């Protein structure tokens, strides 16, 4: 019996909400609140006769702590699921603290306005100190650790697939497969085809910012940064086949390096087709990925926001996307003095997701872990005052829930390693 406030009603939230409504005995009441209330109303109307979860809707500007507090204080949820954008993480965490509610999200904070001089000062200091230049990092949310701990509240960060399930895979490997882990390679393969020359599978702004940034990996206690897309590998993925993949910076590397300190190297690879990369390079070269506003015929526009308006809505890709995703982690290390390797991954089919929840697999593989993370918190399994990432909790009940609710794991004890 619980009451949950979901903030955001985009691609990922749509899946998470539909999955929550399949477990009405836990998710007894849901309030869907977002910037555009009509989207929340449309989803609530669609689900009304399909679930006994009691759904209400609200409009909220999640950039405003005041508006959030008014909503939280009137709805009185047990948990706030932040499935809006990373830009809203801090305002929603702040509101949860002020109102005394547990918090979770699916991606770590980054600022919407990267030209803000105050933010740039902090960012440039971090780039120099830590050695990676991604716009996002955990420091902003880890700064809330003490306040959440003192308030007796739990904040669960980054509970999608990657970040999220990938860290649960690491915790599982550490708990069951290894005494010591030497290397972790996180492999994110999307073998799906939506038929467009260029489209992004989740929020275009967040996606293109991430992919066009320099890559980096963790090695022997420090970051190694490389030009964007400059390390390429080929890999044969189970049920997908041969794909080109590229080394990217990714947020979970940062928390894994802290929480599994013996690891010597952590890398993250994502597959991209040539058409996607050619379009992205061209858009970048002409300035369309810029977040700096320009004046166009008397109007101020932000190029990447304008591009977002032109690109297909990721939520519309569901019916057209065919193929599978394969996301997981390959480990090397030792158990009982023996060298060993281990691969744990999930394969998810775009069309099967669409049949179940009217969405493609990218939103599905993020929305299902968000629901399962909420389930862990609401059933008390993942409650620990403070601000935590997924690998800090017991992976077993979470992976069991994923097996059961749509993202079953596969394993190999003799995987091909990535050179
Ligand atoms: P969408 O753009 O589809 O949805 C975002 C939602 O947030 C929209 O409903 C939007 O409202 C709402 N929103 C945006 N700004 C505000 C605001 N100020 N106040 C209230 N609501 C707001 O994004 P996705 O569903 O694709 O992604 C959701 C989150 O999941 C993102 O943080 C993304 O980074 C993360 N993600 C995580 C992954 C993982 O594996 N961990 C993978 C993929 C995504 P409106 O409809 O008005 O625009």
Per-residue confidence (pLDDT) for residue 18, from 0 to 100: 98
- The phi, psi pair for 319, rounded to 5°, reads -65, -25
Per-residue confidence (pLDDT) for residue 209, from 0 to 100: 81
Token pair belonging to 419: 């050179």
DSSP letter, residue 414:
S
Token pair belonging to 91: 């305002």
As a dihedral over the C-alpha atoms of residue 313, residue 317, residue 320, residue 323, rounded to 10 degrees, the angle is 150
Closest residue (by CA) to atom 13 of ligand 1? 84
Token pair belonging to 208: 């293109």
Identify the bridge partners of residue 29 per DSSP, sorted by sequence position. Answer: 3, 54
Distance 309 CA to ligand 1 centre (A): 15
Determine the Cα–Cα distance for residues 354 and 320; give it in Å rounded to an integer.
Answer: 9
Distance 62 CA to ligand 1 centre (A): 11
- 42, 394 in Cβ contact below 8 A? no
Pocket test residue of 8, 19, 58, 328 for ligand 1, highest count of atoms within 8 A of CB: 8
Q: What residues of the chain score a pLDDT lower than 50?
A: none
Per-residue confidence (pLDDT) for residue 213, from 0 to 100: 87
Distance 85 CA to ligand 1 centre (A): 4
**What global pTM score does this model have?**
0.95
DSSP string across 118-182: HHHHHHHHHHHHHS---S--THHHHTTHHHHHHHT-EEEE--BTTTBHHHHHHHHIIIII-SEEE
Determine the Cα–Cα distance for residues 218 and 45; give it in Å rounded to an integer.
Answer: 47
- 334, 178 in Cβ contact below 8 A? yes
Q: Which helix (H) or strand (E) covers residue 410, if one does?
A: strand 409-412
Q: Which helix (H) or strand (E) covers residue 280, if one does?
A: helix 274-285
Closest CA to 348 of 363, 365, 373: 365
Token pair belonging to 14: 């749509």
3-state secondary structure 38-81: HHHHHHHHHHCCCCCCEEEEEECCCCCHHHHHHHHHHHCCCEEE
Per-residue confidence (pLDDT) for residue 115, from 0 to 100: 83
How far out from the chain centre does Cα 76 lie? 26
Distance 414 CA to ligand 1 centre (A): 37
Distance 356 CA to ligand 1 centre (A): 21
- 186, 347 in Cβ contact below 8 A? no
**Inter-axis angle of helices 11-20 and 350-357, to 10 degrees?**
60
Angle at the Cα of 131 (from 129 to 135), degrees rounded to 5? 95
Determine the Cα–Cα distance for residues 2 and 26; give it in Å rounded to an integer.
Answer: 6
Token pair belonging to 20: 């929550």
Angle at the Cα of 17 (from 46 to 346), degrees rounded to 5? 120
Token pair belonging to 408: 């079953």
Per-residue confidence (pLDDT) for residue 64, from 0 to 100: 98
Determine the Cα–Cα distance for residues 271 and 309; give it in Å rounded to an integer.
Answer: 25
Q: Mean pLDDT score of the chain, rounded to an integer?
A: 95
Q: Which residues line ligand 1 (CB under 6 A)?
A: 8-13, 34-36, 39, 60-63, 83-86, 88, 106-107, 158, 160-164, 202-203, 206, 314-315, 366
Dmax (CA) for the chain in angstroms is: 69
Give the model confidence (pLDDT) of 117-132 as tens digits. 999 999 999 999 998 9
Q: CA separation (Å) from 27 to 30, 51, 221?
A: 7, 10, 42
């Amino acid at each position: 019996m619980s009451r949950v406030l979901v903030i955001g009603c985009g691609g990922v939230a749509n899946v998470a909400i539909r999955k929550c409504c399949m477990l009405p005995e836990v998710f007894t009441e849901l309030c869907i609140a977002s910037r555009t209330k009509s989207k929340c109303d449309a989803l609530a109307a669609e689900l009304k006769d399909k679930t006994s979860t009691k759904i209400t809707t609200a409009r909220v500007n999640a950039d405003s702590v005041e508006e959030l507090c008014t909503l939280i204080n009137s709805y009185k949820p047990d948990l706030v699921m932040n499935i809006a954008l990373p830009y809203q993480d801090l305002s929603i965490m702040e509101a949860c603290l002020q109102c005394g509610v547990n918090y979770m999200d699916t991606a770590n904070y980054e600022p919407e306005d990267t030209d803000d001089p105050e933010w740039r000062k902090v960012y440039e200091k971090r780039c120099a100190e830590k050695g990676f230049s991604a716009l996002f990092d955990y420091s902003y949310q880890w700064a809330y650790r003490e306040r959440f701990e003192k308030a007796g509240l739990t904040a669960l960060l980054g509970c999608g697939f990657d970040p999220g399930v990938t860290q649960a895979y690491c915790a599982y490997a550490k708990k069951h497969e290894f005494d010591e882990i030497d290397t972790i390679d996180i492999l994110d393969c999307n073998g799906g085809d939506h038929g467009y020359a260029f489209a992004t599978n989740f929020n275009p702004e967040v996606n293109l910012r991430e992919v066009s940034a320099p890559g980096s990996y963790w090695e022997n206690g420090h970051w190694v940064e490389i030009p964007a897309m400059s390390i390429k590998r080929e890999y044969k993925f189970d049920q997908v086949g041969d794909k080109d993949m590229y080394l990217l910076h990714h947020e979970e590397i940062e928390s894994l390096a802290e929480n599994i300190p013996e690891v010597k190297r952590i890398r993250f690879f994502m597959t991209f087709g040539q058409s996607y990369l050619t379009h992205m390079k061209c858009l970048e070269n002409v300035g369309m990925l810029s977040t700096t506003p320009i004046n166009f015929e008397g109007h101020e526009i932000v190029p990447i926001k304008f591009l977002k308006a032109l690109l297909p809505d990721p939520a519309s890709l569901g019916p057209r996307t065919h193929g599978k995703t394969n996301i997981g982690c390959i480990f090397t290390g030792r158990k009982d003095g023996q060298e060993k390797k281990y691969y744990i991954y999930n394969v998810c089919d775009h069309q099967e997701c669409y049949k179940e929840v009217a969405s493609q697999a990218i939103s599905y593989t993020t929305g299902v872990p968000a629901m399962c993370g909420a389930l862990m918190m609401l059933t008390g399994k993942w409650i620990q005052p403070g601000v935590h990432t997924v690998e800090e909790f017991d992976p077993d009940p979470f992976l069991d829930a994923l097996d059961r609710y749509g993202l079953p794991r596969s394993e190999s004890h003799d995987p091909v390693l990535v050179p």
